Structure 1
Amino acid sequence: MRKSLLLVAFLLFGWVLIPNQAQAQYNNWSVGFRVGEPSGINVRKYFSENHAFDLNIGTYGGLYGTKRSYRAGEYKSVGLAIQGHYLWHKALTKSESIRGYYGFGGQVNTRRYYPPRLNGEYENALSLGGSGIGGLEFFPTGKPYSFFLETGVYVELLQAPFFLNLNTGLGLRYNF
Structure 2
Amino acid sequence: MTALLLAGWVATPNKAHAQYNNWAVGFRLGDPSGINVRKYFGNNHAFDLNVGTYGGLYGTNRSYRSGQYKSVGLAVQGHYLWHTALTKSESIRGYYGFGGQINSRRYYPPRLNGDYEKALSIGGSGIGGLEFFPTGKPYSFFLETGVYVELLQAPFFLNLNSGLGLRYNF
TM-score, with length taken from structure 2: 0.91
- Closer/same/farther in 2, CA of residues 21 and 141 from structure 1, 3 Å limit: farther
Aligned to 2:5: none
- Closer/same/farther in 2, CA of residues 143 and 21 from structure 1, 3 Å limit: farther
Measured in 2, the distance between the counterparts of 1:64 and 1:106 equals 19
SS of structure 2 residue aligned to 1:161? coil
Residue identity opposite 2:146 in structure 1: G
Aligned to 1:69: 63
Measured against aligned partners, the alpha-carbon deviations of 1:44-83 in whole angstroms (never above 9, x if no partner) come to: 0001110000000000000011000000000000000000
Measured in 1, the distance between the counterparts of 2:10 and 2:166 equals 16
User: What's the CA shift for 1:22?
Assistant: 2.3
Which ranges of structure 2 fall in alignment gaps of 5 or more residues?
Answer: 1-8
Aligned to 1:16: none
SS of structure 2 residue aligned to 1:82? strand
Listed as ranges, the matches of 1:1-176 within 5 Å are 20-23=10-13, 24=16, 25-176=19-170
User: What's the CA shift for 1:20?
Assistant: 4.1
Aligned to 2:6: none
Moved beyond 4 Å, runs of 4+: none
Aligned pair count? 158
Measured against aligned partners, the alpha-carbon deviations of 1:120-164 in whole angstroms (never above 9, x if no partner) come to: 000000000000000000000010000000000000000000000
Q: What percent identity do the matched residue pairs reach? A: 86
CA RMSD across the alignment: 0.9
Aligned to 1:15: none
Residue identity opposite 2:106 in structure 1: R
Residue identity opposite 2:46 in structure 1: A
Measured in 1, the distance between the counterparts of 2:115 and 2:83 equals 45
Which ranges of structure 1 fall in alignment gaps of 5 or more residues?
Answer: 1-18
Measured in 2, the distance between the counterparts of 1:83 and 1:20 equals 34
- Closer/same/farther in 2, CA of residues 81 and 109 from structure 1, 3 Å limit: same
User: Contact between 1:36 and 1:170, CA under 8 Å: does it hold in 2?
Assistant: yes
Aligned to 1:4: none
Measured in 2, the distance between the counterparts of 1:22 and 1:85 equals 28
Measured in 2, the distance between the counterparts of 1:48 and 1:93 equals 19
User: What's the CA shift for 1:21?
Assistant: 4.2
SS of structure 1 residue aligned to 2:111? helix
User: Contact between 1:86 and 1:104, CA under 8 Å: does it hold in 2?
Assistant: yes
